[in-house]
């Protein structure tokens, strides 16, 4: 038994090293002028300064933030409405909603992006707009995560019971849903929304294929500087990873809080 535990420790440590080395190497690379030998030389923050003062970086960061707001809000509202109606009134339809929501999980980015592109690109007006296409595609690509997040939290609060109780206290069913159920699943909605933020932040294929050059996110920015300046791009890389880690940390903290609350109940 003891020996096994030791083996487990060794294995976990090896996997951790595997996962962390690329990050550490990039971090060191971004902080030193010269890393030709074994020991890096010439500590400097020059690379970070040049990224943070680059107006292109600012624009990319802003675009990245802006482009994820609408799809996330839209998808959450749409899925909330759909799941409310389906669970409260038409339980037989739940299966179909689930299938539709899980399809993007298997289709994934490349095919989704080219199929939307080929459908709308020739046309004119609102739906042919690159930003609209991209927004629609983002809604679909985050759909599985939003759907699962909302459905799981609806189950964990025992939604039918809460609806019944609120209705007996004078609410109509839809009122009961927004007044009682939604506030109670808010933390679940926030967690799945943050996961969605992570997905959109990490997207390259949809934005490249659909938006072309109209919208540039951080990934595209990294791709551009990568071809020109490897130190500057390693600093960009570290900044992107920092943002990602921040999002994941918030998700983990919120999740832990949720789970704790459930156990107490």
Interaction residues for another protein, span 220-239 (CB under 8 A)? 222-223, 226, 230, 233-234, 237
Question: Of these, 131, 244, 250, 254, which contacts another protein (CB under 8 A)?
Answer: 244
Residue 130 beta carbon to another protein: minimum distance, rounded to whole angstroms: 12
Which 93-112 positions form the footprint of another protein (CB under 8 A)? 93, 97, 100, 103-104, 106-112
Interacting positions 122-161 with another protein (CB under 8 A): 127, 136-137, 139-140, 143, 157-158, 161
For tokens 């902080």, the residue is 31
> Smallest distance from the beta carbon of 103 to another protein, in angstroms?
6
Structure tokens at 229: 């300046």
Cβ proximity to another protein, 116 vs 189, nearer residue: 116
How many Cβ atoms sit within 10 Å of the Cβ of residue 243? 16
Among positions 17-76, residues that touch another protein (CB under 8 A) are 18-23, 25-26, 29, 35-38, 74-75
92 counts as binding another protein under rule CB under 8 A: no
Strands (E), the chain: 32-34, 41-43
Cβ atoms 195, 149 nearer than 8 A: yes
What number of other Cβ atoms are within 10 A of residue 155's Cβ? 13
In the complex, minimum distance from the CB of residue 55 to another protein, in angstroms, rounded to a whole number: 20
Least separation, in Å, of the C-beta of 53 and another protein?
A: 21
Measured from the CB of residue 192, what is the shortest distance to another protein in angstroms? 14
Distance of alpha carbon 118 from alpha carbon 134, whole angstroms: 13
In 3D, which of 165, 181, 171, 172 has the Cα closest to residue 81?
181
Return left, alpha or beta for 54; rule: phi > 0 is left, psi -120 to 50 is alpha, else beta.
beta
Could you say whether residue 254 binds another protein (CB under 8 A)?
Answer: no
């Amino acid at each position: 038994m003891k020996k096994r535990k030791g083996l487990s420790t060794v294995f976990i440590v090896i996997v951790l090293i595997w996962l962390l080395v690329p990050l550490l190497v990039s971090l060191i690379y971004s902080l030193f002028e010269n890393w030709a030998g074994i020991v890096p030389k010439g500590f400097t923050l020059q690379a970070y300064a040049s990224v943070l003062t680059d107006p292109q970086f600012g624009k990319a960061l802003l675009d990245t933030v802006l482009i994820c707001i609408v799809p996330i809000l839209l998808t959450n509202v749409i899925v909330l409405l759909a799941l409310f109606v389906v669970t409260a009134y038409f339980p037989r339809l739940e299966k179909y909603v689930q299938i539709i929501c899980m399809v993007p999980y298997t289709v994934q980015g490349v095919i989704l992006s080219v199929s939307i592109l080929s459908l709308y690109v020739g046309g004119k007006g609102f739906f042919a707009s690159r930003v609209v296409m991209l927004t629609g595609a983002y809604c679909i690509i985050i759909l599985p995560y939003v759907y699962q997040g909302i459905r799981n939290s609806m189950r964990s609060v025992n939604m039918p019971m809460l609806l019944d109780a609120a209705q007996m206290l004078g609410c109509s069913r839809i009122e009961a849903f927004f007044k009682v159920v939604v506030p109670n699943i808010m933390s679940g909605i926030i967690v799945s929304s943050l996961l969605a933020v992570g997905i959109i932040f990490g997207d390259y294929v949809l934005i490249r294929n659909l938006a072309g050059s109209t919208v540039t996110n951080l990934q595209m920015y990294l791709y551009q500087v990568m071809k020109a300046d490897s130190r500057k791009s390693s600093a960009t890389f570290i900044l992107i990873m920092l943002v990602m880690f921040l999002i994941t940390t918030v998700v983990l903290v919120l999740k832990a809080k949720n789970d704790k609350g459930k156990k107490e109940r």
